[in-house]
Every structure is written in structure tokens, then in C-alpha cells.
Amino acid sequence: MSKEITDITLKKPVLEMLTVANEYCYYFEHLGKKTHTEILEFVSRIGPLLYLKGSLVPDVEVENPEANERFVTPEEWENLFYSLRETFGKYDEFWIIDPQYINENEPLKASLSENLTDIYQDMKDFVLLYQRNTYAARQNAVKEIRKLYATHWGYRITNIMAKVHHLLYEEDTDTLPFMHTLDTF
């Protein structure tokens, strides 16, 4: 006879989201000498998984909103951003139509590096707050990751996936210097 878990912050969808978020963070914290292609392949696989897991996170009523915290510092954000920007080079920027902005019919310039780093920040803050391992911290972590899925990182994933797909599967990618080596920049 199995005992049913009554703590919503310990339910399967939350733990699966936590697992995928942690994997995302770990990858970007250990970029080292990873190539453009390795990063893009990782994003092409984990992006849709993050999006799916985010859509399954339950809504949580927070009893102590003062337990909510953010952890990623501006310096950490900038370090990751500039590392990715250097890696992607001229292929970092692309145009999108973003319904979050006032005029949703005009294209906006977007950045793979900025979007990936924004996603990292939301994932890392979620993982670290959840790891505080108090009920209030877990509630706030789940509430915040669900809210940010709807308003922030969910959009970021959808914004970058077409660009990631294009860079990975463009018919003549062999002619793109981007697909060969970092030394070409």
C-alpha cells in the first residue's frame, strides 16, 4: 500500500521540473570548451522538455511570500551572457515577433545569449530556492517558476527554438563558418 503525497511541492511534476531545471543549470555552468553545435544540440533537446515540464507545474497557494528569494547576481548573469555571446558570435542575434511587446506586428532584435541566460537565471533561482528545503521556500519556488513560465522563460524558449533549429539543420550549414570552429571568429 503506497502513501499518497499530500505536499504539492513534492509531487511528480514539480520534481521533474526541478530535475530538468537542474540539468539546464549544470550544463551552462560547465560550458568550458563546448562548441556552438554542442550547445545548440543541448538546447534543441532540453528547450522543449523544459517547456513541457513548465506547463505541468501545479499552481500553489503561497502562505509566506516573504520566503521568496532570487539568487543569481548581475555578475553571474553577465559572465554567462558574455561567454555565450562570444561563442555564438554573429549568429547570436535574430529577429522575432514578440506578442509581449506593445506593437506585436513589428520585429524585434533578439539574442540567443540573452534568452538562454534569462532562462538560466529563472531555473537557477528555482533550484536554489527549492533546495532551501523548507515548506515556505518550496511553495515560493514552485509558485515563482510557474508564474515565470507564463510571463518570462516560457516565451524565451519559444523565441529561440526556431533560430536553434535553423542553425542546426540549415541545408548548407557546412558553408557557415559558425558550424566549424571558434577560431573563425
CA-based angle 77:44:160, to the nearest 5? 55
CA-based angle 12:15:18, to the nearest 5? 150
State yes or no: pLDDT of 57 exceeds 90: yes
CATH class of this structure's domain 8-184: mainly alpha
Q: What is the mean pLDDT of the chain?
A: 90
Please give the pLDDT value at position 9: 97
Label residue 101 left, alpha or beta by phi (over 0 means left) and psi (-120 to 50 means alpha): beta
Please give the pLDDT value at position 43: 98
State yes or no: pLDDT of 181 exceeds 80: no
Which of 16-25, 84-93, 121-130, 169-178 bottoms out in mean pLDDT, i.e. has the lowest? 169-178
pTM of the model: 0.88
Each residue of 115-144: pLDDT tens digit?
999 999 999 999 999 999 899 999 999 999
- What are the domain boundaries of the chain? 8-184
Each residue of 64-98: pLDDT tens digit?
999 999 999 999 999 999 999 999 999 999 998 77
Please give the pLDDT value at position 108: 85
CA 36/CA 89 separation, integer angstroms: 10
Which of 22-31, 84-93, 105-114 bottoms out in mean pLDDT, i.e. has the lowest? 105-114
CA 29/CA 94 separation, integer angstroms: 24
Work out the pLDDT band at 182, boundaries 50, 70, 90.
Answer: very low
Please give the pLDDT value at position 98: 72
